[in-house]
Amino acid sequence: MANMKKTISPAKFFTESNIIPLIITCVAVAVIVLIPLKIMGHGFLPTDDILRHVAKAVSGRSWNDVLIIREGITLDSHPGFHALLGFIYHITKFTPDALLSFTVVALFIIFCSLPLFFIKRPEAWLMALFIVTLTNFSFITRLLFGRPYIVNMITLVAMCLLWTRLRDEKRPYGTMLLITSLITLSTWIHCSWYLAIFPIACFVLAREWRAAFMAGICAIAGILFGAILTGSPGLFISENIYHAFLVFNKHDLPRTLVTELRPFTGDQLTAIAAILMLSWRRMRGDWDPKRIDNPVFILALFGWVMGFFVVRFWLDWGIPALVVWMAQEFDDVFTKFISPVSARRFLLAMVTAFVFYANTTNDINDRWSMQPNAEYLHKDSPDKSSWMPDPGGIVYSDNMRIFFLTFFKYPYAPWRYLVGFESALMPQKDLDVYLDIQMKRGAAQSFRPWIEKMRPEDRLVITADPGEAPKIPELEWRDMGSGFWFGRLRKVK
């Protein structure tokens, strides 16, 4: 009897073994994987830049073959992204819709799962995501756009999670290699490599000199390696800088800019959430000046302040840094006050995972299932087909969605677009016309310079109310659905 093995009750095994941390990690990963799958299952598909990225990767065409572009712009600003999408397309034989869905899901999962491997409590990361999603739901929506800026956000989050290793480790070679690799990918995939200066500047503002120096080395090396991957490093860097200056050219009013380049009003709820977290730390008697005097919090604050000029600083830099900061705050509290193998921890983690999943995936007000009714994209009748541009034609428009949706539907179409994904790429005279159209809110006379040079094969596409054709008598019009009117020169009888 003395030699009989001692039995352990299931409850004791559950609370005294390492099964709880393992279950929580698995649940966190599962939730992060299931969220985009569930949302895509509602029928959600983004309708902006990811459409043109997929269409370009599928078609393999150069932008000069698709758009009317001003002189001085010769290279693709996202060469790595299109190369990767093209590679996936050719080896998987995905349809364009499947490639789009795969890209959206993959980038969401990578961004949301990366921090799970660098913080002690995965539920702290889920809690931070849940809080920010409650205060600013557009954050989670933006993570589901499948665009290359998400790679920049992934790189930023990695820097926020790993910066202390740059400071504390004697030889942080592994950390530097990881950060350099991510910056290399970001440079190759996206064109805003020059913004890497901002997190490094925040290291300096926090007086973390060693971390700033190490991060600076990583940034310089990563940018150079990424530029080399493009095949034309000097031209790639110079054109990116030229493009950055062009973006704000002659935009006298914010409403003439794309939405993400306009200023914001302060995202008050998210700011209040951050203030409440600081107040909570003060109230529990655990105040530490270093909780705000550090590069991550400073970067979040910097992104918020810069958002009053360009909201993208907040969306792509401030919020990701804030989520990491919040996760580290929760991680600190959970580590101090909750046993890693307690039932209390298990319950908190399960509830957090459930409410985060429920909040993000529910389809209230058809936010995921409501898709634009792009009737004009389908050549479902000879009448509609005849209204599409003829071979060699040019599509003039007052709305970038025309380009996104039509190029995605017809990536091989034998016509080109004047208004594409960035108005700054247009020839200067046409850009002046486009900005005048925006300034005058689409008044009929503002389109006249384009109408005067239209040819029979060209089309002018205008957003207008259904049932009332644009008041431009020189053209005949067809309502193609979704509030889009196609206009063409009247045939001479």
User: For residues 246, 248, 252 and 255, what is the CA-based torsion angle, rounded to 10 degrees?
Assistant: 120
Residue range 364-379: average pLDDT? 67
Q: Residue 488 corresponds to which tokens in the numbers above? A: 């063409």
Element (H, E) at 42: none
- Specify whether the CB–CB gap between 183 and 194 falls below 8 A: no
pLDDT in the model for residue 395: 95
Does any domain span residue 7?
no
More confident residue, 75 or 454: 454
Do 293 and 408 lie in one domain? The reply is no
Where is average pLDDT lowest: 192-206, 312-326, 335-349, 455-469?
A: 455-469
Residue pointed to by tokens 């709880």: 20
Does any domain span residue 282?
yes
Summarised one tens digit per residue, pLDDT across range 392-449 is: 999 999 888 889 988 998 999 999 999 988 888 889 899 999 988 888 888 889 999 9
Does any domain span residue 10?
no
Residue range 319-345: average pLDDT? 94
Domain that holds residue 248: 16-366
Do 352 and 398 lie in one domain? The reply is no
pLDDT in the model for residue 376: 47
- Specify whether the CB–CB gap between 28 and 116 falls below 8 A: yes
What count of other Cβ atoms lies within 10 Å of the Cβ of residue 437? 23
CA 301 vs. chain centroid, Å, equals 20
The residue among 340, 366, 392 that closes a domain is: 366
CA distance linking residue 400 with residue 279, whole number of Å: 44
Do 355 and 453 lie in one domain? The reply is no
Do 465 and 340 lie in one domain? The reply is no
Counting the structural domains of the chain, the total is: 2
CA distance linking residue 98 with residue 272, whole number of Å: 39
Does any domain span residue 41?
yes
Confidence of residue 17 (pLDDT cuts 50, 70, 90): low
What count of other Cβ atoms lies within 10 Å of the Cβ of residue 331? 21
Do 198 and 215 lie in one domain? The reply is yes
Do 342 and 400 lie in one domain? The reply is no
Do 66 and 183 lie in one domain? The reply is yes
Does any domain span residue 9?
no
The residue among 366, 388, 414 that closes a domain is: 366
Do 320 and 443 lie in one domain? The reply is no
Backbone angles phi, psi at 288, to 5 degrees: -145, 115
The residue among 366, 397, 427 that closes a domain is: 366
Do 340 and 425 lie in one domain? The reply is no
pLDDT in the model for residue 11: 55
CA distance linking residue 352 with residue 357, whole number of Å: 8
What count of other Cβ atoms lies within 10 Å of the Cβ of residue 365? 8
The model's pTM: 0.91
Q: Residue 402 corresponds to which tokens in the numbers above? A: 């025309």
Is the pLDDT assigned to residue 130 strictly greater than 70?
Answer: yes
Alpha-helical (H) ranges within 42-119 are 49-59, 63-66, 79-92, 96-113
Do 345 and 475 lie in one domain? The reply is no
What count of other Cβ atoms lies within 10 Å of the Cβ of residue 52? 25
Does any domain span residue 126?
yes
Does any domain span residue 260?
yes
pLDDT in the model for residue 124: 97
Do 231 and 347 lie in one domain? The reply is yes
CA distance linking residue 20 with residue 26, whole number of Å: 10
Summarised one tens digit per residue, pLDDT across range 416-432 is: 999 988 888 889 899 99
CA distance linking residue 318 with residue 142, whole number of Å: 14
Do 119 and 254 lie in one domain? The reply is yes
